Structure 1
Amino acid sequence: MKLIRYIKKHKRKSVVFGILLIVYAFCLPTELFKDPTATVITSKNMELLGAQIATDGQWRFPHNDSIPEKFKTCIIQFEDEYFYEHPGFNPISIFKALKDNISSGEVKRGGSTLTQQVIRLSRKGQARTYLEKIKEIVLATRLELRDSKSEILAYYASNAPFGGNVVGLDAASWRYFNRDAHQLSWAESATLAVLPNAPSLIYPGKNQERLLAKRNRLLKKLLDNGIIDDLTYQLSISEALPQKPYALPQIAPHLLQKVAQSHRGERIQTTLDTKLQERINHVVKNQYNILKQNEIHNAAVLVLNVHTREVMAYVGNTPTDKAHQKDVDIIDKPRSTGSILKPFLYASMLDAGDLLPNTLVADIPSQFGSYNPENFNKDYDGVVPASRALSRSLNVPAVRMLQDFGLDRFHQYLKQLKLKDLKYNANHYGLSLILGGAESNLWDLCKSYASLSSTLNHFSETSSEYYTNEFVEPTFIASESVDFGTTSTDKTLFDAASIYLTYESLKKVNRPEGDESWEFFDDSKQIAWKTGTSFGFRDAWAIGTTKDYVVGVWVGNADGEGRPGLVGVQTAAPILFDVFDILPHSDWFAKPYDEMQEVNICSKSGHRASPVCDDVEPKFIQNSGLKTEPCPYHILAHVDPTETYQVNSSCEDLNAIKHTSWFVLSPLKAHYYKSKNPFYKPLPKLRLDCVGEVQETINFIYPKRNNSIFLPKDFNGETNDLILKIAHSKPETQVYWYLDETYVGSTKDIHELAIIPKKGKHIITVVDAFGNETKREISISE
């Protein structure tokens, strides 16, 4: 009641007081400091990985609420002993400072508390006048009412100047002592505590004597106040001062670039493992020193944790120079895929039930319109098990498999992998899609392999269920966790059995030179891995996975220059296995029995065994593989007792006819198959005294269909011969050759013929003694 009566009696005073109270309440800005800060990244255990300077050119780390006890003690003892007692200003200190300044006729001391210094730092550029001092006192008291003492100290530690372009304790501790502020000694903490007092006059490398004297006076005060003991004091004053600033750590510079794109000026805790990152940096540096001798300057490595999908290591490039784009982060850049997509085709065909793991696929000279794929070694096997074609990375079987499976169909599988650089429709890429006709990046490819591995792990862990969001983006930010969705009995993309069987094949890929005998050692790591080499030797890939980790490696030149020897198994694979040697050992994937069936498989063809197959073994295949056809390669042959001729009842007693299973290939496949399989026995010919229909087949080996041929000249200027070559089901048959209906020769047993046709288009005709005929059109250029 008295207050109300007083307000009514003194209305003007009350209004003025009220206005002043409102002004006081709102005089302090909500955000004291708006200066740009450096982008800082730390490891999973908060170790500094790197920092990018603030946009104003200052090393100013983002605000940090955590202040080391040693520095807290030192700064209070040096700047403001009564910090925890005063309300924001210290009247006694102000009185003493005013007295000294008046007696000396100049400003010799300020008497400011740490709270006042925080206000002064936030009001940068203000002249140091008595009026400004009054404003600081008012704002300091307001700050004391709003924030705690710890928060005020944090403001000071994060924004105090430490000389040069170093602002804040965190930046100063790294620039001057090359370590985190929490690891500083008493001497180091004392050094940093005295620096903000006159940062333009005293800092490491300048006025060392004055800096040393100020530091030691502070240490003596700590001794006198019983904060440190005599031994600590003696050891502390013997410590040398820093002479010049250190460069900040740059352990993951390319990840720092990536973080700065979306989190500029922030302190981000990443998922990286510092020790692993440093060791992989060392591996990359060693390999770079070897590769640059062949003018190969760039490489990138990515390591993912399969279970959490966290990035464990991120090496965006080699420590090359600016002329060779050392600052370019290769990990997310599109590059030609080479053969790295082949496992996805193999898994797709298994998943769709179009293939069994060891089904024979053709490996013969092939032409698809104007597209003429070749194996890396220019050789052919005739037929080869699909799993072996994958582990050996044979090109021709891969293209033929893609044609059989369907280009659009495979393209749909790849789209579900969310490869962002696969931007065009299937027809744009054509069959070359499987040999590097498309582009992708290391991030997306590693993500895809991690998703496949995680699918297998989850299937085993959840009693044969899948997760709905298995193909999730990895993360390098520790505060983020991936969401795999909910469990479901429906597969996400590939079923677990198809993935497992794909990995079983990839486990058998030939390792780099010097590591070939890995499987003979009990503790050797089982790794499913694949290499890739792009056309023109521009990109070399190696990606591998275990149950726990995915490692991806790219090697090449950032500007796309190709180099001889830039091959996946020679340049990328050694880095891959060096990285896996650093990682902990992983067990192999559990076999997903619930997605598999045990059936009898023909050992020679890899198909489900037919009643005719003579060599059968039980194998686990994917459930969808039950719809594949039985073995088409084995027939029941009727031969004489010596198995030299085919016979029938027209020429042999029924009791003497031997009925045996026979593995039969077409002539062209058999031609190449025999060179690698000397025990292959072609189907015997029908004995001459037997009556029966015999069909002979002729296949061109060279030239290929619609082939345009250039005939080079030798050193004498003479045009080289064109060698024509066919395969005949009965090589001993006489074969007659015609060029544009003109007879040019005949062959027997070995069906090769040399001719020199004129420039232009020609038709080659081949006729055997039985009247069988085949033709091939060619175009000759000079």
Structure 2
Amino acid sequence: MVLTSVLKLKNALRSYIIKKIRRNKIKTAILIVLLIAYYFCLPKTLFDVPTSTVIESREGLLLGAKIADDGQWRFPQLDSVPEKFKTCIIQFEDAYFYSHPGFNPVSIAKALWQNMTSGEVQRGGSTLTQQVIRLSRKGKNRTYFEKAIELVLATRLEFRLSKDEILKLYASHAPFGGNVVGLDAAAWRYFGRRPQELSWAENATLAVLPNAPSLIYPGKNQIRLKKKRNRLLKKLLDEEIIDDLTYQLAIEEPLPQKPFALPQTATHLLNKVAETHKGQRVQTSVASYLQQETNAIVARHYNELQQNQIYNAAVLVLDVKTRKVLAYVGNTPTDRRHQKDVNIIHKPRSTGSIMKPFLYAAMLDAGDLLPNTLVVDVPTQIGNYNPKNFKETYDGAVTAKRALSRSLNVPAVRMLRQYGLEKFHYYLQKLHLKDISQSADHYGLSLILGGAESNLWDLCRTYAGFSSTLTHFGENSSQYFTNEFCEPSFLNNSTVDFGTLSAEKTIFDAGAIYKTYESLKEVNRPEGEENWEFFDSSKQIAWKTGTSFGFRDAWAIGTTKDYVVGVWVGNADGEGRPGLIGTVTAAPILFDVFDMLPKSEWFDIPYDELVEVEICAQSGYRASDLCVEKQQQFIPRSGLKTKPCPYHVLVHLDLDERYQVNSSCQPLNQMVHKSWFVLPPLMEYYYQHKNPLYKTLPPFRNDCTTAFQKTMDFLYPEKNTKVFLPKDFDGNINGVVFRLAHSIPDTKVFWYLDETFLGETETIHELEIKPNVGVHTITVVDALGNEATRTIEIQE
């Protein structure tokens, strides 16, 4: 029965409504139009205004901000309004905010009465919701008709947003005097702190400012501002929101006198973020304390460097495990005349020697080299290219790892030629060094000495990729990640994708990288760090410096298991300066930064990519049967492909071991058979000066018949060299000095040019020759009948 009655009532009501609509079609249509207009009267976006680009540290601290395009300090909208400010603004502007529908009839009535009786507008009676609407309709005249529009829009806004969301709009867009808009910008400009950290008095000051921002402004009208603030604080006391002690302390707080400068802790990072996140609030991965300390280090060194007219430097610190940026200093605190706004971190600069570890790792990985293998270090000319060591001295032969740790140029060039220029260029492309954009032939062998350019960001990313390869290999059952050399990030909420695990190496295997890092630990540290290995507190750091041609760029990049620190020093305009050397200018900054970082454990040894073999102690090659002193060493597995020691030979000596002999002059039972370490003449010439214990091979006794034995070689020129005849200031052509190394220096040597006798030398085998333009053959013959030739092409 009840159900039947309800259905009848429902049908009757529907019939009544239909009849009314039919009788009042015009009124109904008007009502529908008004409802539709009311629904769509409020724009989807209330505030279409430019905002400041704001960056914060990973802890949420402000690092810097750029003013909005319209010249206002207007931070992006707040995520939430601090409780103290919320209380202050509601008590001052709209005590019934949480209970009215967008307007307050009582306040409107009071305002109308007061304005009518006074004959002028003295009171607005607007709620916070109405003020949000008024702020969004900027530039409108304050008339009663405009008030009516604001009232309608305010009620519509109440339907769309919650009270707290409306309050966020107000706090983000209210004017606070001058060109300061929004609570966030005002808190930093007037008090130098986040809104969440402000006191009751500071919040009360900000709460009264939007009421009359053009009249009451910090630093002016102090009496009126203080009265308004204190009146609000008294209301908070009366409403028992604060206690009497808090009130007494609050009214004693001073007012702000002038705006604070906003923090600019990471100016160049701010500009970088603005390229892709303009007008947004971005939480970066930068550690605030580390950024500030790195800034201080750079500033301190800048004060010293500028004495030598070196004005620019950059520092980048990466977390190896997360590949996040921890500190980002794009330049020194110099002036505009010296390009202080240039962000060096991403600018291509000549690499100097900073890429030598990449070649070393590549050759270890390919099995072309072992860490202690002797490599050639003698004067070298390859075509027209004549590389020289930094100090222009030569060792003759030096271990590969020592050549790397001392950053010797000639061994690096020879190693690159041995490994293959195209092959090395291919691997640099796989490492995503973007600025190496030309073909291998464009750079030539100078590629390894700074003939190419790269930037601090890419180089630090590459070193971080090497470091995490080692760490991940140890942590993941000897497997590699496929995207190990991924791009770092300065965004705190981003996650780096290392790819998937694979048994295949990404670029170089962990054994080659580990042995490279072991060599880089031996690089001589700058003053004050020399004896680091004797102190338990010292940090084990694999690091490398670089200095470009003309002393234009100084580099230092170091890595531990957890961090990569990269430093560039120089002049942004490319001006070279004497003393602008990696070890002198960049390395001290590097170690100052590492001193701030936590100590890291050294990398775990990747045993699965290493194998223990016998190594010849003198040559560093795999030991042959003739090697006298052998050592057990771990080498990369690919090192098993390297040849055995080529420098130990079996020699036959007389019983006094003064001469070599053979069966033509000495019975076998009166010979001493001995293994002897013998270097080629050119290497031996320089090697014995640095190694006084080196023993040259004894000569054959005069009564013995000898087969040809190479006892001399040209120091200059190299094979198939094009030689340019130098001219003096008067335009006269000078001769070229040819040099020869002989295993027995006192032996006479006879020189011939195209079968024409030129002269003889003894002890010091140098001869000046002035041949005609064209191809010639230089022939030398010593007193023992040994002969050597060299073909050259003379050009003017």
Counterpart amino acid of residue 706 in structure 1: K
Partner of 1:292: 306
Letter in 1 for 2:62: L
- Is 1:772 the counterpart of 2:787 in the alignment? yes
Q: Which residue of 1 aligns with 2:625?
A: 611
Q: Which amino acid aligns with 1:112?
A: S
Aligned equivalents of 1:532 and 1:125: distance in 2?
59
Q: Is the 8 A contact 1:713 1:720 kept in 2?
A: no
Post-superposition Cα deviations, 1:120-160, rounded to whole Å, max 9, x if no partner, equal: 00111111111111111111111111111110110000000
The answer for unaligned runs of 5 or more in structure 2 is 1-13
Match of 2:87 among 73, 77, 92: 73
Go from structure 1 to structure 2 and tell me whether the alpha carbon gap of 1:637 and 1:740 turns closer, same or farther (over 3 Å shift). Answer: closer
On the 8 A contact 2:291/2:326 being kept in 1, the answer is: yes
- Residue of structure 2 aligned with 1:15, choices 29, 36, 44: 29
Q: Which amino acid aligns with 1:608?
A: R
User: Is 1:139 matched up with 2:141?
Assistant: no
Residue of 569, 582, 586 corresponding to 1:555: 569
- Of 43, 56, 68, the residue aligned with 1:29 is 43
Answer yes or no: is the 8 Å Cα contact 1:359–1:606 preserved in 2. Answer: yes
RMSD (CA atoms): 1.9
The answer to whether the 8 A contact 1:713-1:719 is kept is no
Change (3 A) 1:348 1:696: closer
CA distance in 2, matches of 1:281, 1:429: 35
1:476 aligns with 2:474: no
Q: How many residues are aligned here?
A: 778
Pick the aligned partner of 1:329 from 332, 343, 351.
Answer: 343
Give matches, 1:702-781, under 5 Å: 702=716, 705-710=721-726, 723-738=737-752, 743-753=757-767, 755=768, 757=770, 764-769=778-783, 770=785, 772-775=787-790, 777=792
- Among candidates 410, 428, 445, match of residue 424 of structure 2: 410
CA contact 1:710–1:780 (8 Å) conserved in 2: no
In the TM superposition, what is the alpha-carbon distance from 1:660 to its structure 2 partner? 1.7
Q: Whole-Å Cα distance in 2 between the matches of residues 354 and 25 of structure 1?
A: 77
Q: Secondary structure at the match of 1:331?
A: helix
Q: Choose the corresponding residue for 2:191, options 177, 198, 205.
A: 177
Corresponding residue for residue 255 of structure 2:
241
How far is 1:445 from its partner?
0.4
Q: Which residue of 1 aligns with 2:242?
A: 228
Query: Partner letter of residue 194 of structure 2?
Result: D
| SS, match of residue 346 in structure 2 | coil
1:652 deviates by: 2.9
CA contact (8 A) 1:634 1:661 kept: yes
Q: How far does residue 307 in structure 1 lie from its aligned partner after superposition?
A: 0.3
Matched residues in 2 for 1:580 and 1:460: separation? 24
Report if the CA contact (8 A) 1:367-1:373 is conserved: yes
Q: For structure 1, which runs of at least 5 residues remain unmatched after alignment?
A: none
Instruction: Indicate conservation of the 8 Å contact 2:55/2:283, yes or no.
Output: yes
Amino acid across the alignment from 2:485 = F
Q: Deviations over 1:306-331 (max 9, x none)?
A: 00000011000000000111001010
Q: Structure 1 residue 641: deviation in Å?
A: 3.3
Measured in 2, the distance between the counterparts of 1:405 and 1:759 equals: 36
- Residue 129 of structure 1: aligned partner: 143
- What is the identity, as a one-letter code, of the residue corresponding to 2:267? P
Task: State how far apart, in whole Å, the 2-side matches of 1:655 and 1:741 are.
Answer: 45
* Cross-structure match for 1:361: 375
CA distance in 2, matches of 1:758, 1:213: 99
Distance 1:491 1:214 in 2: 70
Change in 2 beyond 3 A, CA 1:252/1:537? same
| Equivalent position of 1:692 in the other structure | 706
Give 1:585's aligned residue: 599
The Cα of 1:220 is off from its aligned counterpart by 1.0
Aligned: 1:623 with 2:637 = yes
Task: Tell me which residue corresponds to 2:649.
Answer: 635
**C-alpha contact (below 8 Å) 1:359/1:607 kept by paired residues:** yes
CA contact (8 A) 2:777 2:789 kept: no
State the partner residue of 2:680.
666
Summarize the Cα distance change of 1:718–1:368 in structure 2 as closer, same or farther, 3 Å threshold. closer
The answer to whether the Cα contact below 8 Å between 2:722 and 2:795 also exists between their aligned partners in 1 is: no
Once residues 627 and 744 of structure 1 are traced to their aligned partners in structure 2, the CA distance between those partners, rounded to angstroms, is 46
1:215-261 CA-to-partner distances (Å, cap 9, x unmatched) read: 11111111111111111111111111111111110000001001111
3-state SS of paired residue (1:25): helix
1:420 and 2:434 matched = yes
Deviation, 1:703, is: 5.0
C-alpha displacement at 1:655, in angstroms?
3.1
TM-score (norm 2): 0.95
Match of 1:40 in 2: 54
- What secondary structure sits across from 2:254 in the alignment? coil
- Tell me the equivalent position of 2:165: 151
User: Partner of 2:4 in structure 1?
Assistant: none
Contact (CA 8 Å) 1:52, 1:256: kept in 2 or not?
yes
Q: CA deviation at 1:780?
A: 8.8
Residue 452 (1) aligns with residue 466 (2): yes
Conserved? CA contact 1:173–1:179, under 8 Å? yes
Aligned to 1:530: 544
Once the two structures are overlaid, the 10-residue window that deviates more, 755-764 or 269-278, is 755-764
| In the alignment, structure 1 residue 439 sits paired with structure 2 residue 453 | yes
Which stretch of structure 1 is more off in the superposition, 98-107 or 506-515? 506-515
Amino acid at match of 1:708: F
**Deviation sequence 1:659-715 (CA, Å, 0-9, x none):** 22111111111000001001111111112233332424432224554333536589x
Distance 1:640 1:233 in 2: 107
* Of 676-685 and 158-167, the range deviating more from structure 2: 676-685
Q: Which residue of 2 aligns with 1:305?
A: 319
Instruction: Give the distance between the partners of 1:617 and 1:513, measured in 2 at CA.
Output: 33
Q: Distance in 2 between matches of 1:229 and 1:31?
A: 41
SS of structure 1 residue aligned to 2:613: strand
Q: Which residue of 2 aligns with 1:541?
A: 555
Secondary structure of 1:710 counterpart: coil
- Aligned partner of 2:511 in structure 1 is 497
Tell me, yes or no, if structure 1 residue 647 matches structure 2 residue 686: no
